[in-house]
Amino acid sequence: MYNNIYKSKNLKRENPEAFLENEFFGAKSQLYVCSPAMFANIYYLEKEKAKRNDNSLYFINFEFEVINEKRNNGYYKDKIQDILSFSLRSSDLISWFTNNQLALLLIDLEKSEVYKIIKRIERNFADYDILKEINITVKIKDNNSHNNAMKF
C-alpha cells in the first residue's frame, strides 16, 4: 500500500525520508499526541532501545480535576495540550487515557532535566488556573534506576 502511494506521487527521485515528512507529518514542530495503543507501542520500542543504549526513559502519568466541570471536556483537552506543547519538546509524546488522565513519554533526558520540566509544567498550569488538582507521577527507566517512581 505505501509503495503504491510512493509510486503514485511519482516521487522516485525524492528522498524517502522527505516524502514521509511531507506526506504524513508536514512541518511537525508541536507535541506528538497519539492514541493509547500507539503510545504503548512506542513506549515498548523506546524501552527496548533504552536498555540497549543505556538511555533514560521517563513515563509521566497526569491525573487531574478541572475547576469548572460544567465546561465540555474538549475545552480542557485543548487548553492542557496547549500548555504542554510549550512546556515540552516536539519529540515528546502524550496520550489521553481518559478525560482526566494523560501520559507523557520523555526520552533521553537527565533526571535533573525531568525535574525542571515537571516544575515548568506545574508553573504553566498554575498560570492558567484551569485545574483544581493535579497529581503527577514519574516512572523512571534508566540504567541506574529501572523502576523507581517520583511523586510530585
The closest of 130, 120, 54, 63 to 92, measured between CA atoms, is 120
Q: Dihedral (C-alpha) 43, 46, 52, 53: value to the nearest 10 degrees?
A: -140
Say which residue, 69 or 144, is predicted with more confidence: 69
In terms of domains, do 142 and 80 share one?
yes
Question: Which band of pLDDT confidence, cut at 50, 70 and 90, is reported for residue 146?
Answer: very low
Task: Give the domain extent around 102.
Answer: 32-151
CATH number of the CATH domain containing 82: 3.30.70.270
> pLDDT for 62-116, tens place per residue?
888 776 666 666 777 888 888 888 888 888 899 999 888 899 999 888 888 988 9
The closest of 122, 118, 116 to 104, measured between CA atoms, is 118
Residue 87: φ, ψ to 5°: -100, -20
In terms of domains, do 73 and 130 share one?
yes
Q: How many structural domains compose the chain?
A: 2
pLDDT of residue 1: 46
In terms of domains, do 36 and 19 share one?
no
In terms of domains, do 52 and 86 share one?
yes
> pLDDT for 11-66, tens place per residue?
555 676 776 666 655 545 567 889 999 999 999 999 899 888 888 889 888 888 77
Residue 126: φ, ψ to 5°: -65, -40
In terms of domains, do 81 and 131 share one?
yes
In terms of domains, do 62 and 22 share one?
no
**What's the pTM value of the predicted model, to 2 decimals?**
0.70
In terms of domains, do 41 and 23 share one?
no
In terms of domains, do 19 and 92 share one?
no
Helices vs strands, H then E, count in the chain: 5, 6
**pLDDT of residue 143 exceeding 70:** no
In terms of domains, do 16 and 73 share one?
no
How far apart are alpha carbons 74 and 80 in whole angstroms? 10
In terms of domains, do 78 and 114 share one?
yes
In terms of domains, do 37 and 24 share one?
no
H or E, element range at 39: helix 36-53
How far apart are alpha carbons 110 and 57 in whole angstroms? 9
pLDDT of residue 96: 93
Say which residue, 149 or 80, is predicted with more confidence: 80
